[in-house]
Amino acid sequence: MTATILLTPAVEDRTPSSLPPRLVLAPGDTAPALIDGAWWPRSRDLAAELPALIEVLDPLWGRITRVTVNPTFWPVIPRKVPVHGHVVHVGWFEAEQDPHKLLLLSYTVGRWDLLVVPPETEPVTAARLMTMAADPSRSLTATGLIQEAERFRTAAEAEADSDSYREAFWDYEGGHDARHPDSRTPDRAVIGHVPTPAEGV
């Protein structure tokens, strides 16, 4: 079963059910895949974002001891991040690690790879990415998932633009009142008598 988790801040005005999910994990009983789920941080500040994520993952995956990122999208990479009860070491790999992936290591259990959904992503696209990352049949890398979601978003926008254009053209042409160019309807009203059919015919 896929785990969907709301990473709520300490002070939050909205109810948890109204918040978008920030972490989705793939089902644990599926075959190993390139991505084990997706995380949608609120910012690119690792020192601020990692503690909440790791507090959720520690009970599920065993104590997370190390995290690695690609520095492409992280402006500051702290060497250590204090988490409730322990310290997590943070490292980075430039060429070896997908820029859209967060790698987590547990000393006792193993390794997990999460897609990092860019913080500025629109909620609809973020939800799509998180669903794709948790799909048991998934076979794309983190960057592949981002590119696939971008293609879908571009296609949806093009379709919406096309619909808007068709609607505007329809309105310009008169909409429902527009007549087919081949119509033979006269310009003026025609008033005439329609004979009553003869009885018995």
Residue-wise pLDDT tens digits, 40-62: 999 999 999 999 999 999 998 88
Give the three-state DSSP class for 107.
coil
Residue whose tokens read 């033979």: 184
Closest by Cα among 146, 154, 90, 91 to 118: 146
Give the three-state DSSP class for 80.
strand
- pLDDT for residue 174: 61
Residue whose tokens read 């973020």: 126
Q: Is 142 exposed, middle or buried (0-12, 13-18, 19+ CB in 10 A)?
A: buried
Does the reported pTM lie above 0.85?
A: no
- pLDDT for residue 20: 63
Residues of the chain with pLDDT below 70 are: 1-20, 31-32, 163-201
- pLDDT for residue 15: 37
pLDDT in tens, 124-152: 999 999 999 988 787 889 999 999 988 98
Give the three-state DSSP class for 170.
helix
